Chain A
Amino acid sequence: MSTVASAKEARKPKSTPRLENRQRPIWLRRVRHRLSGVLLIAFTLFMLLPILMIVNLSLRPATDRATGALDPPSHLAWSNYVDVFHQMNYLSSAGNTLLITAASATLVVLTGSSSAWAIARHTRGWTTWAYRLFLSGLTIPVFVLLTPLFVLMRDLNLLDNLLSVILANSALNLPLAVVFYSSFLRSVPTELEDAAAVDGCGLFGTYWHIVLPLLAPATATVTIFISLATWNDLILPLVFLSSPEKTTVILSVYDFLGIGGRFQTAQLFPAVVLASLPLFILFLVLQRHIVAGITAGMGKG
């Protein structure tokens, strides 16, 4: 490394066309920094163009004749949102989806973390194999197990019951949690847990009072991953649920798609915005924890 540096040092006395950054006047560095920041925001906005388009079109009255995707609407048609809100039975469907997501996340966090703790702290042959089995769960395409799973739910009398979606969904998301928690735990020293043992805390007590709180950043991350996967999942709710009062938000969005997938922007787009809104809010709230979690979980792999 210092060879590179010294090579550069050696070249400096002669007039170099490019000054090293730290040699430039402060004001220039500031300007570059600012410019870089502005460009970054510009890039982000560019990435967001399709979403801006969706929001824009969602507020366009159905009677507008405009064709450009980013042409502003003649007036903000909030009525689109109101209509869609009712057609989607939003409170009910969002409520169901929220329930499924919260329950799945809780289930996965609890079962995943307890498993991962055992795997990370009790390294035996069989726990390694258990870990590998969980890992392989990430590779299974859902269509393989869909029909047998449906028959199983039928036999358990859980059809048209939100619980079937919760259980199936949790099981399918477990591998990710186990893998993540294991990797996180492996980079955490056992001092706190040992101390708890010395203090006479049982295994369960240690888990509940020490390990879980310790895992908080990883939990935030796992929660957001599972929420992303669950919220927009179409297959499980489609197959397991039938009654109209059990519908989820993504299924209601699907109702706005006609044959061959055609739709009215004044219907589908407000539906999409409404559907994604709770996720976005959840993310904003958990934001800080997520990065902390990913950072920590990645520290030593």
Chain B
Amino acid sequence: MHRRWTLSFAVLMAVSAITSCSSGSGSPSGPTVLTVAAWKGGGNEIAGMDQLNLAFQQAHPEYKLEYKYINNAAFDTYIATRLAAGEAPDVFMADRYKMLKWYQQGSLADLSDQPWVSRLIPNLKIFNSIKGKTYQLNSENAALGMYVNLDLLKQAGIDHAPATWTELLADLNTLKAKSINGLFLPNKGGWSGITLSMMLAANLVDKDWAGKYDSGQSAFNPTWSPVIEKIKQLLTSGTVDPKLMLGLGPWDDGPAQFKAGKWAFLLQGAWELSDFAKNATLNFSLNAFPGNDSGTPKTFTFVGAGWVVNSHAKNSPGAKAYLNFLSQPTNAAVFLQAETAFSTLVDVESPAVPQAQPVLATFKSGNTVPSAMEQLNFTDDETQLGNAIQTIFVNPSVSTASVLQTLDSQIPKTPIG
């Protein structure tokens, strides 16, 4: 009995001993440590980072790269606490939402003097700059679109992907008549609803709308009315079961069902493409969502996964070297290829993947718009949009005006502090 407690004391002492000799970061002479944290580059979200990190280490032996992959859901908690205590990594991954939040904390280093700034595609400025200063290196301009299972369409006697809204609805009816699953819109958590509404907005709402929102010059009501109306139309057409869709997950059920060839249409991002392509029997393409009847469908891109530097970085030169490295054309291309994303730099070609031809063509002809939600300054806007669209799924005959009013009140106009 006594031995048990003595043992436990010993454990406690041992713990203190072991744990106290493990702090410290790098010797004064020799490579300096460079800490990086991201939600890609590990687990199942490699995105080519393993290869890039290896190359960086070889090209820069003066730095010791410590790269940490953190699951996307845990990332905010990880960074928030560390930022608050001044212990955040030198470099971390960001998107515009995070960039805004961290900018307001004073946590981001001004990167305006970096060599790659002039190489960033001009119309992406809002995604990497605030008040004229650059804070982020955008690494991908990810297209979202409608995946189309060409074989299923052929089975129903449809020979091309729908290019107008009317065609889409007609195709859905044809598919239903032939007992083929049509549009898979898994909306548990709200993401598909957000995506659908933004794809419609890309087609139906002026692309300058987002930029004017926070200054009070534009609003959801009544500009987004056509978007809400079309969603209601879709959900009452009898070809999509909103209740069923609310119980299915956009990130697990969605890709799994489409990859298995069970549904004709799926709204997702280009990043899924390489995984879908692994199914050799799947004959599919990624198209812009036909949200209007003009014949030229538009889609939107999400400028996600960029890199920022900690304003209190312990290794500022290393951090900047890392970003510079990633911006080199050959390196940037590796990431883009893995993500099937569009380029963010003027001298880097977007990868040409056969199935993504249609959406690439849309991009090249200037028919993609950057995400409207991403351009608004209220960082929780997507959650609110998701909730609002879910209420339509719950009750497709809800009043359009009430949805728009909710959006305007739940997404306040937020000037950047």
Contacts and interface: CB of A to CB of B under 8 A. Distances in A.
B81 A146 contact: yes
Contacts of A110: 5, 8
Interface in B345-371: none
Size bracket, chain A contacts: 35 or more
A131 interface: no
A55 interface: no
Interface string B8-32: 1101100110111011000000000
Nearest to B15: A103
A96 to B, nearest CB: 10
A102 B8 contact: yes
Given A242-B68, A254-B71, A259-B251, A99 B43 contact: no
Interface string A132-172: 00000000000000110011001001011111001000000
Nearest to B10: A106
B280 interface: no
A17 interface: no
Interface stretch (B72-80, B226-234, B398-406): B72-80
Given A258-B45, A260-B191, A262-B251, A161 B23 contact: yes
A208 B5 CA distance: 9
Contact of A258 (B2, B43, B82, B189): B43
B193 interface: no
Interface residues of B, number: 41
Secondary structure type dominating chain A contacts: helix
A257 interface: yes
B249 A151 contact: no
A151 B84 contact: yes
B42 A259 contact: no
Contacts of B15: 99, 103, 162-163, 166
Nearest to B86: A154
B87 interface: yes
7 contacts: A110-B8, A154-B86, A157-B23, A159-B85, A162-B19, A238-B74, A260-B191
Given A208-B5, A239-B77, 14 more contacts: A151-B85, A154-B87, A159-B85, A161-B19, A163-B16, A212-B1, A212-B5, A234-B74, A239-B81, A255-B42, A255-B69, A259-B251, A261-B252, A262-B255
The 8 closest A-B pairs by CB, nearest first: A260-B251, A106-B8, A258-B44, A262-B252, A154-B85, A150-B81, A162-B19, A255-B43
